[in-house]
């Protein structure tokens, strides 16, 4: 039987089309139930059990479930559980789910294709008896609800007929829907059994944990509670507002330091639009695309300089009274002069909710099921969830999804998804790190592994012919200890004319990773290898990264070589690039190489080669610094890891040797040479790296801080800055200069990859290196950008062919965006990993160490501890602090009686891990010296004793604080080669 489906569509040109689709109704669609004797089933059609055991306490009789679309969309987590089976999913639901959310559709498909789950797809839309046409004035939702009810009714009648004839036990169809109206119609009009998902899941008394997975969406009206937040505008209102220019659209970025502050990045504004206060933030969560309204100019303010943490202890009772935090915020903001556009969020255009890692906040009320979830990411608000297994979850890292954020609720509402593992467990914490930083860390798929060359890998005659044979040359590699992915090696030798030939040999990864293959796509998506303290997440499978590509000692490997002829003063006479076969004579560590150079008795090829390289590197470095390259600093530490427990047992600041700088100089030289070459050959398509010149406003905190110390700093150009940094030295404070460099690092912008055709030549400049052009060529094993650069260079010298995508500017720009994003995330993940290990290190120990005041805030001091590269906060005001501090905004100082704190002042602090809260261990900074009555703690030589006496009054009244992740963990934008 034929019927027509009619839609009206608007096409791109704006024309209105009436589209007619033929729709055939069939009589040969079977019900899929084992108890049916009417339908002539094939065996594989029989999915639904003949006598489904009932697990529900309300519905004792055997039953099949039928669901409506919203149930699947909201409660897919529940349906993924094996407990729920014998479910009929009608075509209407599948279509609607597919239309609304492709992610949930995929999950639903996975359930449907698993026969063990007993989920049956009933194609009701093509069944003659269950197809219905939309009636006039009926909304499509109502029509779909009716279609589902019709299918349910058909099933009920069909099964009744069957079971009556065969005298089998009767089977009920239970329609699960959270739509009260739909439920009413099903019960009253169609005489069906229907209930809400909640009711049903609650009735599964043997499986109480299922209830936690329920998504709590309230369909009831919100009017009975007093709303905390102003309402959002409707989509149409926002649309009109944006079109008329009254409202602005942008992405919302929450402040990391202050939970009541955030900003919206709107394209047409130079500065971010500031949003302050709970009502103005109006339920926006970091990453959402929001609609913002500007406040009148007299209400504009500036970002407050205080650190605020949400410490709301009373999660159940909500008040709209302005709490203390908000008061502090207002006071601090109102005085400042430099006001910036301020607005309030009036609507959410698109939510960017994902699943969040975090922990459960212990609830004072025992036995309650309502809990507060604290996400690991500080930008994300706390989430209210319901769970009955809280006791079990307290000691675990869990993942929670946000469902909704109603007006009357202070926090968004969500549900528990899964537990990652015990708190404090390294595996769990690493997993959290990786998830939070969006690092793809799953195992490589079989498809990717299939792209690998088969072992044993043998170099063929053809390969030797195509490549320059450098096996005889004394090439060696210098890397940090324990490095298995060696992607560079060096050599140098004297030429007959007195010049020196220097070669940099980079692993030829592009030989193994061919464009367009699965492995290429995977590597492009991962973009970079991520280094955690105790773990490496490879960009390419280990076979390549640690074996075939790695330029290990005394094995033949393919390399991409960059060979210069340099004169005695390290001026480049000639440059050539070619692919080669090399056999590294030695894989050295920095330390070993240094020893060889220093050992006068060694005079073999490698020793000579290294000494020559070292001399040249010194010249190169000097020249680079003269040009204005910056020497920046960041506290970097290494952990010595216990080989058995995998816990850090010692922390050491990373040592820098001459050889580090030697390798670095030649890598920089190679990168610059390659950048010049590919930019010349592909002026429109070269992938380069730039480091934008920071705007002068970025330097303001630095200039201010230095001025209070009686120095002036010239930030007008990189060169001036470099000179200033060299000159500002304080004899009584040897760490002063390093701190300045740390501060300067924070003024920098991120270095980014870009495609040469998208920017003008003057924008190519690399500020940190003072290089007019730069790229990444030297680490293809761990960076995808290098692979692209290799391909470009290979195309330049005719060693490889180009392909369409290599010269596609748009595609490559998108690729650059991904590389930049992943690099940033990898950096953050690395830092977070360091912070995590620091926590582990301080477990069961506390220590008094020397620190420096990095910033003076209105309500806190930020302290840097060079020994551990740590940064933390000491709060100066709060409920339980007796000492009275006076903040001087003019010269950025805090005074208490006769003790004054300035930036850069040395202090002694005690570091300890606050483990009173098992859930949320925090590194606590406490002031020891200078001593302030009622604020500082007594110095105590017996460190362990203090740690075990938490009843000491100071411990208790300290505000909860958390070490801020080492903000300066790495140089701004990977300027230098680093393993």
Partner 1 sequence: MAYNALSEAEKVFILHGIQDDFRNDGRSRRDFRPMELQTNVIASACGSARFCIANSDILVGIKPEIDAPFPDKPEEGKIEFHVDCSANALLDFEGRGGEELALEISNCLRITYASPFAFDLKSLCILPKHQCWKLYVDILILQCAGNLYDAISFAVKSAFYNLRIPRVNSALLDGGNVDLVLSDDPSDCDRLDVQSIPILLTICKIGEHCVIDPSIDEEICSSSNIVVGVSRNKIVSLKTISGGSFHPDTIENCIDLAISTAKTLDNTLMNILKHEESLTKSKKNIKCSFLN
Give me the least distance between CB of 206 and partner 1, in Å please: 44
- Closest separation in Å from C-beta 94 to partner 1: 20
Shortest Cβ distance from residue 165 to partner 1 (Å)? 31
| Shortest separation between residue 142's beta carbon and partner 1, angstroms | 10
Task: Kindly tell me which of 125 and 488 has the beta carbon lying closer to partner 1.
Answer: 125
Q: Using CA of residue 720, residue 723, residue 726, residue 732, what is the dihedral sign?
A: negative
Instruction: Verify cis geometry, omega within 30 degrees of 0, for the bond prior to 194.
Output: no
Which CB sits closer to partner 1, 10 or 879? 10
C-beta of 8 vs 365, nearer to partner 1: 8
Which helix (DSSP H) or strand (DSSP E) does residue 784 occupy? helix 784-796
Min dist CB 814 to partner 1, Å, is 28
In the complex with partner 1, which residue's Cβ is closer, 134 or 339?
134
Pairwise CA distance, residues 610 & 722, whole Å: 29
Render 74-143 in DSSP notation, one character per residue.
HHHHHHTSTT--SEEEEHHHHHHHHHH-HHHHHHHHHHHT-GGG-EEEE-GGGBTTT--PPPTT--HHHH
**Closest approach of Cβ 92 to partner 1, in Å?**
16
What distance lies between CA 63 and its chain's CA centroid? 44
Min dist. Cβ of residue 185 to partner 1 (A): 20
The answer to whether 591 touches 481, Cβ cutoff 8 Å, is yes
Nearer to partner 1, 217 or 239 (CB): 239
Q: Name the residue nearer to partner 1 (CB basis): 139 or 882.
A: 139
Give residues in contact with partner 1 (CB under 8 A). 2-4, 6-8, 10, 14-16, 18-20, 133-140, 236, 239-240, 243
Strands 500-507 vs 488-494: parallel, antiparallel or unpaired: antiparallel
Residue 693, CA atoms < 13 Å, CB-side half-sphere = 16
CB 258 within 8 A of CB 306: yes
Radius of gyration, alpha carbons of the chain: 33
Residue 313: CB atoms within 10 A of its CB come to: 7
Pick between residue 3 and residue 655 the one whose CB is nearest to partner 1.
Answer: 3
In angstroms, what is the minimal distance from the CB of 416 to partner 1? 36
Choose between 135 and 338: whose C-beta lies nearer to partner 1: 135
Rounded-to-integer distance, Cα 865 and Cα 854, Å: 10
Q: Are the CB atoms for 363 and 390 separated by under 8 Å?
A: yes
Nearer to partner 1, 143 or 202 (CB): 143
Q: How far is the CB of 148 from partner 1 (least distance, A)?
A: 19
Least distance (Å) between residue 17 CB and partner 1:
9
Q: Residue 573 Cβ, how far from partner 1 at the closest point, in Å?
A: 60
Pick 139 or 298: Cβ nearer partner 1: 139
Q: How far is the CB of 238 from partner 1 (least distance, A)?
A: 12
* Strand segments (E) across 255-333: 261-266, 273-276, 289-294
The tokens describing 285, both together, are 């969560």
Compare residues 3 and 113 and give the one whose CB is closer to partner 1. Answer: 3
Cβ distance to partner 1 smaller for residue 139 or 898 = 139
CB 94 within 8 A of CB 148: no
Closer to partner 1 at the Cβ: 138 or 647?
138
State the minimum distance, in angstroms, from the CB of residue 292 to partner 1: 19
Run of H or E residues at 217: none
Tokens found for residue 501: 């030939």
Shorter beta-carbon distance to partner 1: residue 146 or 958: 146
19 class by beta-carbon count within 10 Å (0-12 exposed, 13-18 middle, 19+ buried):
exposed
Distance CA 611, CA 666 (A): 14
CB of 15 to partner 1, least distance (A): 5
Token duo for residue 258: 């202050």
* Cα 396 from Cα 651, distance rounded (Å): 27
Phi/psi at 758 (nearest 5 deg)? -90, -10
| Cis preceding linkage at 630, omega within 30 | no
Pairing of strands 172-176, 63-67: parallel
- What is the spatial distance between Cα 757 and Cα 808, in angstroms, rounded to a whole number? 10
CA angle 670, 674, 678 (to 5 degrees): 175
Give the shortest CB-267-to-partner 1 separation in angstroms: 16
Whole-angstrom distance, CA of residue 94 vs CA of residue 92: 6
Among candidate residues 672, 677, 689, the one with its CA nearest the CA of residue 799: 677
Nearer of residues 130 and 859 to partner 1, judged by Cβ: 130
8 A C-beta contact, residue 289 and residue 347? no
User: Which among 473, 480, 476, 470 has a CA at the least distance from the CA of 488?
Assistant: 476
């Amino acid at each position: 039987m034929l019927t027509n489906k009619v839609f009206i569509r608007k096409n791109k040109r704006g024309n209105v089309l009436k589209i007619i689709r033929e729709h055939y109704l069939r009589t040969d669609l079977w019900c899929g139930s084992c108890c049916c004797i009417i339908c002539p089933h094939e065996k594989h059609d029989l999915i639904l059990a003949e006598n489904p055991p009932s697990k529900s306490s309300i519905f004792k009789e055997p039953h099949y479930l039928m669901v409506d679309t919203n149930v699947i969309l909201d409660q897919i987590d529940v349906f993924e559980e094996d407990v729920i089976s014998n479910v009929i999913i009608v075509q209407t639901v599948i279509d609607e789910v597919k239309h609304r959310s492709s992610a949930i559709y995929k999950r639903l498909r996975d359930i449907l294709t698993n026969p063990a789950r007993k989920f049956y797809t009933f194609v009701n839309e093509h069944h003659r008896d269950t197809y219905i046409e939309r009636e006039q004035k009926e909304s499509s939702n109502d029509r779909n609800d009716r279609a589902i009810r019709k299918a349910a009714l058909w099933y009920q009648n069909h099964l009744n007929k069957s079971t009556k004839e065969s005298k089998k036990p009767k089977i009920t169809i239970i329609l699960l829907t959270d739509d009260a109206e739909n439920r009413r119609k099903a019960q009253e009009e169609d005489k069906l059994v229907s209930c809400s998902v909640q009711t049903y899941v609650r009735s599964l008394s043997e499986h109480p944990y299922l209830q936690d997975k329920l998504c709590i969406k309230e369909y009831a009206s919100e009017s009975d509670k007093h709303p905390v937040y102003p309402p959002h505008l409707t989509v149409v209102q926002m649309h009109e507002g944006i079109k008329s220019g009254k409202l602005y659209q942008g992405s919302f970025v929450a402040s990391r330091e202050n939970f009541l502050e955030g900003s919206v990045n709107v394209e047409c504004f130079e500065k971010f639009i500031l949003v302050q206060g709970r009502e103005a933030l109006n339920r926006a969560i970091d990453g959402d695309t929001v609609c913002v309204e500007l406040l009148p100019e007299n209400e504009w303010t500036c970002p407050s300089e205080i650190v605020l943490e949400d410490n709301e202890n009373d999660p159940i009772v909500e008040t709209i009274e302005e709490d203390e935090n908000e008061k502090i915020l207002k006071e601090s903001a109102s005085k400042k002069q430099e006001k910036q556009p301020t607005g309030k969020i009036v609507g959410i255009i698109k939510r960017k909710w994902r699943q969040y890692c975090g922990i459960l906040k212990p609830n004072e009320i025992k036995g309650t099921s309502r809990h507060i979830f604290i996400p690991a990411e500080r930008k994300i608000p706390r989430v209210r969830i319901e769970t009955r297994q809280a006791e079990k979850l307290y000691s675990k890292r869990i993942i929670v999804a946000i469902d909704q954020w109603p007006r009357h609720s202070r926090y968004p509402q969500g549900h528990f998804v899964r537990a990652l593992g015990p708190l404090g467990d390294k595996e769990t914490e690493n997993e959290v790190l990786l998830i939070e930083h969006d690092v793809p860390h799953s195992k490589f798929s079989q498809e990717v592994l299939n792209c690998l060359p088969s072992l044993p890998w043998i170099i063929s005659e053809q390969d030797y012919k195509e490549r320059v044979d450098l096996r005889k040359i004394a090439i060696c590699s210098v890397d940090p200890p324990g490095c298995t992915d060696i992607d560079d090696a060096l050599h140098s030798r004297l030429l007959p004319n007195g010049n020196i030939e220097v070669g940099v040999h980079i692993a030829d990864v592009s030989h193994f990773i061919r464009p367009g293959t699965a492995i290429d796509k995977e590597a492009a998506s991962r973009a970079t290898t991520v280094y955690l303290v105790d773990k490496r997440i490879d960009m390419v499978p280990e076979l390549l990264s640690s074996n075939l590509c790695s330029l290990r000692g005394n094995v033949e490997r393919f390399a991409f070589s960059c060979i210069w002829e340099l004169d005695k003063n390290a001026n480049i006479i000639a440059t050539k690039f070619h692919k080669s076969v090399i056999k590294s004579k030695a894989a050295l560590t920095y330390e070993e190489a240094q020893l060889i150079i220093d050992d006068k008795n060694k005079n073999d090829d490698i020793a000579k080669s290294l000494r020559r390289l070292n001399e040249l590197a010194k010249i190169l470095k000097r020249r680079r610094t003269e040009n204005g390259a910056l020497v920046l600093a960041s506290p970097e530490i290494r952990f010595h890891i216990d080989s058995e427990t995998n816990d850090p047992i010692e922390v050491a600041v990373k040592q820098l040797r001459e050889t580090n700088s030697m390798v670095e100089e030649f890598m920089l030289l190679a990168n610059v040479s390659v950048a010049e070459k590919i930019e010349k050959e592909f002026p429109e398509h070269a992938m380069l790296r730039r480091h934008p010149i920071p705007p002068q406003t970025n330097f303001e905190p630095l200039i201010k801080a230095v001025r209070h110390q009686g120095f002036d700093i010239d930030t007008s150009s990189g060169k001036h800055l470099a000179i200033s940094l060299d000159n500002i030295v304080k004899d009584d404070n040897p760490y002063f200069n390093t701190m300045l460099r740390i501060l300067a690092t924070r003024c920098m912008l991120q270095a980014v990859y870009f495609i040469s055709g998208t920017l003008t030549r003057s924008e190519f400049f690399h500020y940190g290196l003072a290089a007019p052009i730069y790229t990444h060529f030297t680490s293809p094993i761990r960076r995808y950008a290098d692979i692209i650069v290799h391909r470009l260079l290979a195309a330049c010298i005719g060693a490889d062919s180009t392909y369409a995508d290599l010269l596609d500017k748009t595609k490559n720009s998108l690729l650059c965006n991904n590389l930049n994003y992943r690099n940033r995330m990898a950096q953050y993940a690395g830092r977070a990993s360091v912070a995590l290990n620091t926590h582990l290190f301080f477990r069961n120990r506390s220590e008094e160490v020397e620190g420096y005041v990095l910033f003076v805030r209105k309500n806190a001091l930020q302290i840097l501890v060079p020994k551990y590269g740590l940064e933390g906060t000491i709060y100066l005001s709060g409920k339980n602090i007796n000492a009275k501090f006076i903040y001087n905004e003019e010269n950025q100082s805090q005074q208490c009686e006769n003790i004054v704190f300035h930036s850069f002042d040395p202090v002694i602090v005690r570091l300890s891990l606050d483990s009173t809260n098992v859930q949320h261990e925090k590194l606590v900074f406490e002031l020891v010296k200078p001593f302030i009555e009622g604020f500082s703690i007594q110095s105590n030589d017996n460190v362990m004793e203090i740690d075990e006496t938490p009843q000491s009054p100071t411990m208790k009244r300290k505000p909860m604080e958390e070490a801020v992740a080492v903000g300066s963990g790495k140089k701004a934008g990977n300027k230098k080669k680093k393993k």
